[in-house]
Amino acid sequence: MRQADGAGPAHAEALAEDVIIWASLNGLLVGAGDELRPRAAIHAPLSVLPVPFPRASFEKAKAAMRIFNKLIDRVSRDGAYLEATLQAASEFDDFTARLLQIYNATDDWRQQRLSEQLVLAINRSDYMLDEPSSTLMQVELNTIASSFGCLSTQVCKLHRYIVERAGQPELVLSNLPENDVTSHLADAIGTAVAEFGDPGAAVLFIVQPNERNSYDQQWLQYAMWERHKVRAVRRTLAQVAQQGSLDVGGALSVAGQRIAVCYYRAGYAPTDYPSEQEWSAREMMERSTAAQCPSVPYQLAGAKKIQQDLAGSDTVERFVDSAEEAALIRACFAGLWSLDNPDNPETQDVLQQADMQPDDYVLKPQREGGGNNLYGDQLQQRLRDPKGLAAYILMQRIRPPINRSMLLRDGNILEVDTLSELGIYGTFVGRGDTVILNAEAGHLIRTKAATSDEGGVAAGFAVLDSPYLS
Ligand code: ADP
Ligand code: MG
Ligand code: MG
């Protein structure tokens, strides 16, 4: 379905050219990464045509999103649960330990603000289809820096254009679902800013220096302005350390600009905190009246260790409202195992299994951003050393169906066997215990070569795609 059937390389090149031009004209861009011309842009890594995806699984993932939003919000409020669950991992993982330390250092402030603190979450729950079991399985849930929402909106428009205008007679437009992540994210931020109540306050985008994915972020800034007349200021954590301050009531300003929302597109990786000043900036913001997207407890609630623990018996049930809700999200949990106690007989069993069949598992540390998991031989070697295994979780390897795709990266077209990962965005705004907004906010498909273990677009493994529902 995804090949330029029988039309040969000349047709593929012509199609690629159409895609590149549309992408350039419609802001489907990333930074070119050219040191001499730091503002130069290039089309985002893309799939030329949409990828087949079963409609029922797609709808199931969408239906689960509002429950995941609620679940994560409640987990983030249960400090005792977060601490107990992350305790063993934090003994061997300095990054998790540091986040927990900030959590504890700011707890007095949190307790004081319990009924009035503004909450804004932009989550993304990621899934792959597992072909052997014919089920949709959750890969992970992201609570920080869930990216590519705005570029995904553009990819869906691109694929509609290509299917209709460039003539793909075997594909019909009605199987390409609408997708407006950009408006949803802008509206959630707009709602939080309105709730903050200071019309002059801006949104602080916490960014990495030399960010290549800045166009995805700029789309959001643009939509915030167009739809809500809300301004954004962009700063690195180091700049916030230098220019940020709190007044006695905890109101945050950066270079004199009052801030309603801190939106983190950085701060998820240890490398985002090269010195103590970045950590002190994070702690200062956590101690402010501005909504933190995400707060430290929300970031902790998105840890892979929490995902694994929630899948354990009766845990999810504690946090949602009904058995039906629990069942809906449980249906997409893959096999997940704690490595907190390597001597535990159940852990011994799975370690033995993984040693015999390492390709059936993925070993995951408490990290975000792609490129951190262990597979195959590396997984086997790491599991043979019991020391510090609590820093990881072990996960069933999901086996998605293989498609044939034309991928476009840096202007070059490549036809390969591929796997795809679906992401569903969720937005949430609350004040204290009151829920102001809880929405499913659109989707993302990332497609990667079937030979690649990892899947990040920014990390260079995958391209942006869209679903062709069947
Ligand atoms: P990160 O937070 O770094 O994105 P992920 O859990 O999403 O971590 O893992 C990165 C990538 O590894 C995913 O996008 C996916 O391609 C692959 N992956 C992760 N877990 C599994 C799994 N259980 N089965 C198969 N592939 C997986
Ligand atoms: Mg992640
Ligand atoms: Mg991921």
- Dump pLDDT digits (tens) for 126-177: 999 999 999 999 999 999 999 999 999 999 999 999 999 877 778 999 999 9
pLDDT at 9: 78
For residue 446, the ligand 1 atom closest to its alpha carbon is: 14
pLDDT tens column, 179-238: 999 999 999 999 999 999 999 999 999 999 989 999 999 999 999 999 999 999 999 999
For a mutational test of ligand 1's pocket, the pick from 138, 299, 306, 454, i.e. the residue with the most ligand atoms closer than 8 A to its C-beta, is 454
Q: Are residues 386 and 421 in the same domain?
A: no
* Ligand 1 pocket check for 369: Cβ under 6 Å: yes
Residue at which a domain ends, from 363, 397, 431? 397
Q: Is residue 1 part of a domain?
A: no
Does the predicted model carry a pTM greater than 0.95?
yes
87 is in an annotated binding site: no
Task: Say yes or no: CB of residue 379 within 6 Å of ligand 1.
Answer: no
pLDDT digit string (tens) for 231-285? Answer: 999 999 999 999 999 999 999 999 999 999 999 999 999 999 999 999 999 999 9
Answer yes or no: are the C-beta atoms of 266 and 272 closer than 8 Å: yes
Instruction: Convert the pLDDT of each residue in 55-94 to its tens digit.
Output: 999 999 999 999 999 999 999 999 999 999 999 999 999 9
Choose the final residue of a domain: 397, 428, 446: 397
- Say whether pLDDT at 43 is over 90: yes
- The best mutation among 373, 394, 402 to test binding of ligand 1, ranked by most ligand atoms within 8 Å of the C-beta, falls on 373
> 324 and 364: one domain?
no
140 lines ligand 1 (CB under 6 A): yes
Q: Please report which confidence band the pLDDT of residue 5 belongs to, taking 50, 70 and 90 as the band edges.
A: very low
Is there a domain that residue 156 lies in? Answer: yes
Phi, psi of 341 (to 5 degrees): -125, 90
Instruction: Answer yes or no: is 310 within a domain.
Output: yes
pLDDT band (50, 70, 90) for residue 435: very high
One domain, residues 388 and 453: no
Rounded CA separation 441/152 (Å):
12
Which atom of ligand 1 sits closest to the CA of residue 397? 24
Residue 268 is assigned to a ligand binding site: yes
**How many domains does one find in the chain?**
2
Domain membership of residue 12 (yes or no) is yes
Residue 256 Cα to ligand 3 midpoint, Å, equals: 36
Between residues 230 and 35, the one the model is more confident about: 230
282 labelled binding-site residue = no
pLDDT higher than 50, residue 1? no
Same domain, 233 and 349: no
Question: Could you tell me if residue 2 is inside a domain?
Answer: no
Instruction: Report the nearest atom of ligand 1 relative to the CA of 398.
Output: 24
Protein residue with its CA nearest to atom 2 in ligand 1: 368
Q: State in Å: Cα 264 to ligand 2 middle.
A: 14
372 carries a ligand binding annotation: yes
In whole angstroms, what is the distance from residue 160 CA to residue 137 CA? 27
Query: Are 258 and 315 in the same domain?
Result: yes
> Same domain, yes or no, for 198 and 231?
yes
pLDDT for the residue numbered 4: 43
- Residue 454 beta carbon below 6 angstroms from any ligand 1 atom: yes
Q: Do both 158 and 25 map to the same domain?
A: yes
CA of 326 to the centre of ligand 3 (A): 23
Q: What pLDDT score was predicted for residue 7?
A: 59
Establish if 3 belongs to a structural domain. Answer: no
Which atom of ligand 1 lies at the shortest distance from residue 137's CA?
Answer: 23
Residue-level pLDDT at 3: 47
Active site residues: 124, 140, 142, 147, 304, 364, 368-369, 446
In a domain, 63, yes or no: yes
Say how many CA atoms lie within 13 Å of 179 toward its Cβ: 32
Give tens-digit pLDDT for 348-366: 999 999 999 999 999 999 9
Residue 413 has pLDDT above 80, yes or no: yes
Same domain (yes/no): 449, 371: no
Q: What is the pLDDT of residue 405?
A: 96
pLDDT in tens, 258-273: 999 999 999 999 999 9
375 burial level (CB within 10 Å; 0-12, 13-18, 19+): middle
Tell whether 186 and 205 lie within a shared domain.
yes
Domain span at 387 = 335-397
Asked whether residue 355 falls in the same domain as residue 330, the answer is no
- What residue's CA is closest to ligand 1, atom 19? 139
Whether residue 319 is found in the same domain as residue 352 = no
Averaged pLDDT score across all residues of the chain: 95
Whole-complex ipTM:
1.00
CATH of the domain at 370: 3.30.1490.50
pLDDT given for residue 459 in this prediction: 67
Per residue in 281-324, pLDDT (tens digit) is: 999 999 999 999 999 999 999 999 999 999 999 999 999 999 99
Tell me which of 378, 397, 416 is where a domain ends. Answer: 397
For residues 233 and 360, membership in a common domain is answered with no
Q: Is 393 in the pocket of ligand 1 (CB under 6 A)?
A: no
Cβ of residue 398 lying under 6 Å from some atom of ligand 1:
yes
